[in-house]
Amino acid sequence: MLIVCYNNGVKTKAQAPLWEALLNYRHQKYNSWHTPGHKDGAYAWLPWRQALGAETLALDLTELPGLDNLACPTGVIKAAQEKAAAFYGAARSFFLTNGASIGLIAVILATCRSGDEVLLPRYAHRAVFNGLILSGARPVYLETEWLDEPGLPLGVTPAALAKALAEHPGARLLLLVHPTYEGVVPHSRELIRLAQARGLAVLADAAHGAHFGLTDTLPPSPLELGADYVVQSTHKTMGALTQAAMLHLREDRTGEAVAEALNLLQTTSPSYLLMASLDTARLIAEVQGRQDWGRAVAVAVSLRRQLAAAGIPCLAADQVVGPAAAGLDVTRLLLPSAPFGISGIELAAVLRQAGQEVELAAPGYILLLVTPGDDRAKSQALLEALLTVRRPTGREYRLCSKPLLQRQPRVALTPREAWLLPRRELSLARAEGNIAAELVAPCPPGLALVVPGEVLTAEVITELVELRGPTGKVLVAEV
């Protein structure tokens, strides 16, 4: 299946090797005497088959002749991954069928051993801490700048990283979040340069930035800025199916170690639909990504202007850019809920009644994403819904307390040490002073409020009571 396109007026051909192989295999119409057990949809629940379509289920295939093997690719999967690497500017790329989380954990396992120090911001995704638990590595939390209202991480300053590097000369890995869940981009180029000059590898969690670099109006990809490892959630902003992601390596020196870690973690029965969606997401980005994302940026900027004119300003770049932040993804619309006089959770509920579903409802704001799948008609429907939100009378809404993640935790054990100890369940009322034995990281966005090995202080308990209720419980280590 060849797609003819034009690049600067020159006629070219773009391919999706894995997707083409699936179609070619399907056209052979073999009788299936192999997995999956639904047998091309024949044994699927009828409403399920009717909703998805027989052709979709028939493409849910497995490791068959001509379809390659993700664990040791030599054919069409290898070709698809090589095309992804060439497009994104990587030496090697891996398809991930268990989300970006697996890519983060695999890099930590491939680069760190028990006791090795990893420099990271406290607001890293829960998958990073899972990687620390599995590897035995020790977290070193970087001093982070925050925007107090509505309580967002801005990033790590180069000065803070330089200080941490001097204090931890044996550190092995730097974890960058590029961008944050809210779209804030750190000074990654300088942070990467500082870390690599001290011999650290740099892993960039770009889960929310798979579209970066596709136009000049979007922030650059951390791969372009020199990161050694970049993990992207292709499904979050691009055209892949949920759970499909990619891992890119700037150099292939550790490629086999990463491949071994992925084979340790990923299923031996990966979804070909997920992998093919990565292949086609890369293709559409290659063929028309600049045009598509230019249009998406235009929709987002227009919506931002209209909201500001209506007295509902989105978080803007001039609010975040400074010592810790270099920019903002304009396609992520963060709307503080204070102008509406209600919490972000209440605002999201009101919008849902008007047919508008948001990405995230936080205590003090809501977050909405714009991609090429959105047009001006959808943005106008959202605008109209926001303009009809009524502010409650006789009520003054106050912002929530200082987020727990702004505070440096008291660390008694490494995450792995605490995880492996005997544990018991305690009521929150009795847990203060104990060492946490569980990871508390509600999704979304998956930020870790409590990491195994941290002391449960009064402040932490207060946050957990808000999350789990006054009768809630927590797992603690028996030291």
Tens digits of residue pLDDT in 76-129: 999 999 999 999 999 999 999 999 999 999 999 999 999 999 999 999 999 999
- Convert 113-123 to b/e letters by CB count within 10 Å (16 or more is b): eeebbbbbbbb
Q: What is the pLDDT of residues 45-75, one digit of tens each?
A: 999 999 999 999 999 999 999 999 999 999 9
CATH 3.90.1150.10 segments of the chain: 292-387
Residue 87 CA to its chain's centroid (Å):
20
Q: Per-residue confidence at 9, pLDDT binned at 50, 70, 90? A: very low
For the cut 80, the answer to whether the pLDDT of residue 281 exceeds it is yes
| 8 Å CB contact between 125 and 137 | no
Residue 370, pLDDT > 60, answer yes
CATH 3.30.1280.10 applies to domain 409-477: no
Outline which parts of the chain fall under CATH 3.40.640.10: 70-284
pTM of the model: 0.93
Residue-averaged pLDDT of the chain: 92
CATH 3.90.100.10 boundaries in the chain: 409-477
Q: DSSP labels for 176-188?
A: EESS-TT-EEE-H
Q: pLDDT tens across 255-277, in order?
A: 999 999 999 999 999 999 999 99
Is the bond preceding 17 in cis, omega lying within 30 degrees of 0?
A: no
Integer angstrom CA distances of residue 247 from 98, 203, 206, 444: 12, 10, 10, 21
| CATH code of domain 70-284 | 3.40.640.10
SS3 label, residue 121: strand
- Under CATH, which number does the domain 292-387 receive? 3.90.1150.10
pLDDT given for residue 442 in this prediction: 82
Going by C-alpha positions, the residue among 233, 262, 258, 292 that lies closest to residue 112 is: 258
302 CB contacts (<8 Å, ≥6 apart)?
Answer: 376, 379
- The per-residue pLDDT for 444 is 76
Please choose, from the candidates 144, 161, 130, 128, the residue with its C-alpha nearest in 3D space to the C-alpha of residue 404. Answer: 144
